[in-house]
Amino acid sequence: MQILTLRDAAALVADGMTLALGGMTIYRRPVAFVYELLRRTMPPRNLTLLCFTAGYESDLLIGAGCVSHIRSVYTGLESFGLAPMFTEAVHNGALNVIEETEASLSMGLRARAAGVGFMPSKAWTGTALPALRPDVKTVIDPYSGEVLTAFPALPCDIAILHGLDGDLYGTVRLNANLGVDAELIYTAGKVIVTVERLVEKIEPNSGILVPPPGIDYLVHAHKGAHPTSCFPEYPLDGLELMRYIEYCNAGRFEAYLSEVLEI
């Protein structure tokens, strides 16, 4: 495990990568990392965004033109409404949405973790979903003869999570709203975790812990999830999310981005 600055960590994301973002909807999202990606002289392009659910941070990357493909169960801002730049990009044909469900994402991550090409499941059987995903095949169960859906393994070059604490030994303390954070830790090629605090040692039984060697890089980012929440450190900032929506609805995404990035 190596401790990096936000700038050095953001430099690890290259064009064309599959980038996974942890957290859940508008809770514990790696916002500070996304800001730093967008501060780069040349932000990454042609990314495939992998999220169990995608929120504010994902919408920023989409609006900035960094994302060409997205695979997620849900993209939005919960009670604050639609993700405006995602909605615009889809309507304009600028974003390729790879249809996913909870089952397909979980099966794809399990296949990746197991080091196999696919994971069989009864999910999607009898639905119209396979017609939207020609890459999803079927297999015959060699024991029962039943036809099963074969969900392909999900590639993931780099995963970015946000946690409460990280220590010098590589242990990270998360909180609730995990989404698929645990799965991403063991399926991504590289794992970067931004944390509210760097501490000398995290005590056992102090919460939801990720032990070493799951983490490759650790980054100190105080309030690194704002304006999404990071319970119990701070709640979500509803006023900021509303401000973001107002800017986007007025066609002023670039102005908003300049403000939050202080360009």
Average pLDDT, integer, range 42-65:
98
pLDDT at 204: 87
Per-residue pLDDT at 225: 97
- Whole-model pTM: value is 0.94
Q: What is the pLDDT of residue 263?
A: 60
- Confidence band of 32 (pLDDT split at 50, 70, 90): very high
pLDDT for the residue numbered 212: 87
Average pLDDT on 236-241 reads 97
Structure tokens at 246: 């107002």
Could you tell me if residue 140 is inside a domain? no
Tokens coding 2: 């190596």
In this prediction, residue 200 carries a pLDDT of 93
What residues pair up with 193 in beta bridges, in sequence order? Answer: 161, 218
Q: How far apart are CA 181 and CA 243, in angstroms?
A: 28
- Does residue 12 have a pLDDT over 80? yes
* Residue-number span of the structural domain to which 199 is assigned: 2-100+154-261
Residue 23 lies in a domain: yes
pLDDT at 109 exceeding the cut of 70:
yes
Q: Percent of the chain at pLDDT above 70?
A: 100
φ, ψ of residue 170 to 5 degrees: the values are 95, 10
Q: Say yes or no to pLDDT of 112 above 90.
A: yes
What is the DSSP track for 112-180? HHHTSSEEEESTTTTSSHHHH-TT-EEEE-TTT--EEEEEEPPP-SEEEEEEEEEETTS-EEE-S--TT
Residue 206 — pLDDT band, cuts 50, 70, 90? Answer: confident
Mean pLDDT of 118-144: 95
Measuring CA to CA, which residue among 49, 28, 53 is closest to residue 172?
A: 28
On whether residue 253 sits in a domain, the answer given is yes
243 within a domain of the structure (yes/no): yes
Work out the pLDDT band at 26, boundaries 50, 70, 90.
very high
- Residues 6 or more apart whose CB falls under 8 angstroms from that of 134 comprise none
Tell me, yes or no, whether 62 lies in a domain: yes
pLDDT tens-digit series, residues 135-187: 999 999 999 999 999 999 999 999 999 999 999 999 999 987 888 999 999 99
Domains: count for the chain:
1
Asked if residue 132 is part of any domain, the answer here is no
The CATH number covering residue 183 comes to 3.40.1080.10
30: preceding bond cis by omega (within 30 degrees): no
107, part of any domain: no
